[in-house]
Structure 1
Amino acid sequence: MPERVTAKEIIRQSSQGISVQPFLIRADDNQTYFVKGLSRALGAGLVSEALAAELGAHLDLPIPPWRVVDIPQELIDFSVMDNVRDLEGGPAFGSLQVENASDLLWAKVPDIPAEIKKRVLLFDWWIGNGDRGLGPMGGNVNLILDQSGALQVIDHNVAFDSSLTAEEFRMYHVFRDQLSAQTGELLARLEYLPMLDAAMADWGRITSLLPEEWVRRDSGHGDETEPTLEQRLQLLERFKEDQFWGQL
Structure 2
Amino acid sequence: MLKRITAREIIRQSQQGISVQPFLVRADDNQTYFVKGLSRALGNGLVSEALSAELGKHLGLPIPPWRIMDIPQSLIDFSVMDGVSDLSGGPAFASLQVENASDLMWANLSSLAPDLKKTVLLFDWWILNGDRGLGEIGGNVNLILDPRGELVVIDHNVAFDPHLSLDEFRRYHVFRDQLGSFDGNLLARLDYLPLLDAALADWSRIISLLPEEWLFRNHDPDDEYEPTLQQRLQILERFKDEQFWGQL
TM-score after normalising by structure 1: 0.98
How far off is 1:222 after superposition?
A: 4.2
2:202 matched to 1:194?
Answer: no
What is the rounded CA distance, in whole Å, between the counterparts of 1:73 and 1:221 in structure 2? Answer: 25
User: Partner of 2:25: helix, strand, or coil?
Assistant: strand
Deviation digits for residues 46-100 of structure 1 (CA, Å, limit 9, x no counterpart): 0000000000000000000000000000000110111000000000000000010
2:18 equivalent in structure 1? 18
Matches within 5 A, 1:38-187: 38-182=38-182, 184-187=184-187
Aligned partners of 1:125 and 1:184: how far apart in 2?
A: 17
Output one character per residue of 1:141-172: Cα deviation in whole Å (capped at 9) or x when no partner: 00000000000000000000112122111110
Offset of 1:223 from its aligned partner?
Answer: 1.6
Identity value in percent: 75
Q: Contact (CA 8 Å) 2:118, 2:181: kept in 1 or not?
A: no
Residue 184 and residue 175 in structure 1: after superposition, are their counterparts in 2 closer, same or farther (change >3 A)?
A: farther
Give, in angstroms, the shift of residue 183 of structure 1.
Answer: 5.7
Letter in 2 for 1:135: G
Give distance in 1, aligned partners of 2:34 and 2:76.
16
Tell me, yes or no, if the aligned pair for 1:131 and 1:140 is still in contact at 8 Å: yes
Q: Which runs of 5+ in 1 are unaligned?
A: none
Kindly indicate whether the alpha-carbon contact (under 8 Å) linking 1:134 and 1:172 is maintained by their aligned counterparts in 2.
Answer: yes
Q: Kindly state the Cα deviation for residue 25 of structure 1 after the two structures are TM-superposed.
A: 0.1
Residue 27 of structure 1 corresponds to 27
Cα separation, 2, equivalents of 1:183 and 1:121: 13
How many Å apart are 1:221 and its aligned residue? Answer: 4.2
CA contact (8 A) 1:118 1:182 kept: no
- Provide the secondary structure at the position in 2 that maps to 1:132: coil
Gapped runs of 5+ residues in structure 2? none
- Partners of 1:183 and 1:139 in 2: how far apart? 27
- Aligned residue number for residue 227 of structure 1: 227
Deviation for aligned residue 1:180: 2.5
SS at match of 2:218: coil
Which residue in 1 is equivalent to 2:245? 245
Greater than 4 Å deviation, 4+ residue runs:
none
Q: Is residue 212–residue 220 contact of structure 1 (8 Å, CA) maintained in 2?
A: no
CA distance in 1 between counterparts of 2:86 and 2:222 reads 22
Distance 2:208 2:144 in 1: 29
TM-score by length of 2: 0.98
RMSD of aligned alpha carbons: 0.9
- Opposite residue 179 of structure 2, the aligned amino acid is L
In structure 2, how many angstroms separate the alpha carbons of the residues matched to 1:183 and 1:19? 33
* Partner deviation per Cα, 1:17-57 (whole Å, 9 max, x = no partner): 00000000000000000000000000000000000000000
